[in-house]
Amino acid sequence: MSFRRLTTLSGLAVSCLIAAPLMARQAQQAPAQQPPAQLPSGDRLPPRPGQLSPAPATPVGPCGRFTPDEKSFNFGKILSSNSVEHVFKFKNTGDANLVITSASGSCHCTVPQLAKMEYAPGEVGEIKVIFDPKGKAAGPVQQRVTVVSNDPTSPTSSLMIEADVQPIVMVEPKLVAFNQLAKGESRKVDMSVTGRMDGFAITDIRFDGEGEKIKTEIGKPEQVEINGEKMFKIPVKVIYPPASRIERFNRFMYITTNDTREKEVKIPVLGEVQGDIEAKPQRITMGLVARGAEFSNTATIGSRSGKPFRILGIKQIATQQDRKDPQLKFEFKPITRDGKPAAGSQSDYYNVAVSGVAPNDTFRGVIDFDVQTDVAGEENVRVGVYLVVR
Local confidence band at 57 (pLDDT 50, 70, 90 cut-offs): low
Residue 51 has pLDDT above 70, yes or no: no
Show Cβ contacts of residue 172 under 8 Å, excluding neighbours closer than 6 positions.
191, 192, 194
Taking the C-alpha atoms of residue 148 and residue 107, their distance in angstroms, rounded to an integer, is 17
Range 39-68 average pLDDT = 62
The third-level CATH classification (topology) of the domain covering 66-166 is: Immunoglobulin-like (2.60.40)
Range 260-284 average pLDDT = 93
pLDDT of residue 50: 52
Residue 209 has pLDDT above 90, yes or no: no
**Spelled out in words, what is the top-level CATH class assigned to the domain 169-274?**
mainly beta
Range 299-319 average pLDDT = 94
Instruction: Tell me the percentage of the chain whose pLDDT exceeds 90.
Output: 71
Q: Are strands 187-195 and 229-240 parallel, antiparallel or unpaired?
A: antiparallel
Q: Where are the alpha helices (H) located in the chain, listed in sequence order?
A: 3-29
- In the sheet that holds 98-105, the strands lie side by side as 72-79, 156-166, 139-149, 98-105, 118-119
* Nearest Cα residue to 221 out of 258, 254, 252, 269: 258
DSSP, collapsed to helix, strand or coil, labels residue 183 as coil
Domain chopping of the chain, boundaries: 66-166, 169-274, 277-389
Range 284-306 average pLDDT = 95
pLDDT of residue 1: 44
66-166 and 277-389 have identical folds: yes
Instruction: Please write the tens of the pLDDT for every residue from 95-105.
Output: 999 999 999 99
Show Cβ contacts of residue 125 under 8 Å, excluding neighbours closer than 6 positions.
89, 90, 91, 92, 114, 115, 116, 119
Residue 21 has pLDDT above 70, yes or no: no
Residue 59 has pLDDT above 80, yes or no: no
pLDDT of residue 42: 39
pLDDT of residue 60: 64
What average pLDDT is seen over the chain? Answer: 86
pLDDT of residue 52: 52
DSSP, collapsed to helix, strand or coil, labels residue 231 as strand
Local confidence band at 40 (pLDDT 50, 70, 90 cut-offs): very low
Instruction: Please write the tens of the pLDDT for every residue from 231-247.
Output: 999 999 999 999 888 88
Instruction: Please write the tens of the pLDDT for every residue from 118-176.
Output: 999 999 999 999 999 987 778 899 999 999 999 999 999 999 999 999 999 999 999 99
Radius of gyration of the chain (CA): 38
| Amino acid at position 210, single letter | E
The third-level CATH classification (topology) of the domain covering 277-389 is: Immunoglobulin-like (2.60.40)
Angle at 331 between CA 325 and CA 334, to 5 degrees: 145
Range 71-93 average pLDDT = 95
Instruction: Please write the tens of the pLDDT for every residue from 338-350.
Output: 999 998 888 999 9
Number of residues in the chain = 390
pLDDT of residue 56: 55
| Amino acid at position 83, single letter | S
pTM reported for the whole predicted model:
0.61
